[in-house]
Amino acid sequence: MDDRVEELYSYIQSRCLWQFFPREWDRRANIEGILEKAIELLTEGECQVSETLLDRYFYVEAKALVIDVKSRFPWLNELNKAEKRAIMEEVKKKLMEVMVVKSLNPELRLSGY
């Protein structure tokens, strides 16, 4: 499972700009919101989308991510729902750790923004 988590993590790191928003709260919201929608799409085939612009944005990004990873990583299609969820939760955890918790960018936490 670790290899698969690393594959998806590396892919997201190199291809998805939403993880690089300039403030800590933006990064947390994007990583959490987009990956939660992606998990729903991967495990249920659909997800709830509210009428807010932010929720729609999370859905669109998640939909694009899911389409792409399903075609690039065929092994993902062979997993059951629990396995997909577990892998994506680990990817989310790793992204949060690297992009938010351990980030060395001091601007992430400036209160003046």
pLDDT at residue 113 is higher than 80: no
Model pLDDT, residue 103: 80
Q: What is the mean pLDDT of residues 75-100?
A: 96
Q: Is 80 helix (H, G, I), strand (E, B) or coil?
A: coil
Compute CA 52 distance to the chain's CA centroid, rounded to the nearest angstrom: 19
pTM of structure: 0.89
Model pLDDT, residue 25: 84
State the chain's mean pLDDT as an integer: 92
What number of other Cβ atoms are within 10 A of residue 45's Cβ? 8
Model pLDDT, residue 106: 80
CA gap 13, 10 in Å, rounded: 5
Q: What is the mean pLDDT of residues 9-13?
A: 95
pLDDT at residue 110 is higher than 80: no
CA gap 31, 80 in Å, rounded: 23
Q: What is the mean pLDDT of residues 87-108?
A: 90
Digit-coded pLDDT (tens) for 19-62: 788 888 889 999 999 999 999 999 999 998 898 999 999 999 99
pLDDT at residue 15 is higher than 70: yes
Domain range annotation of the chain: 2-103
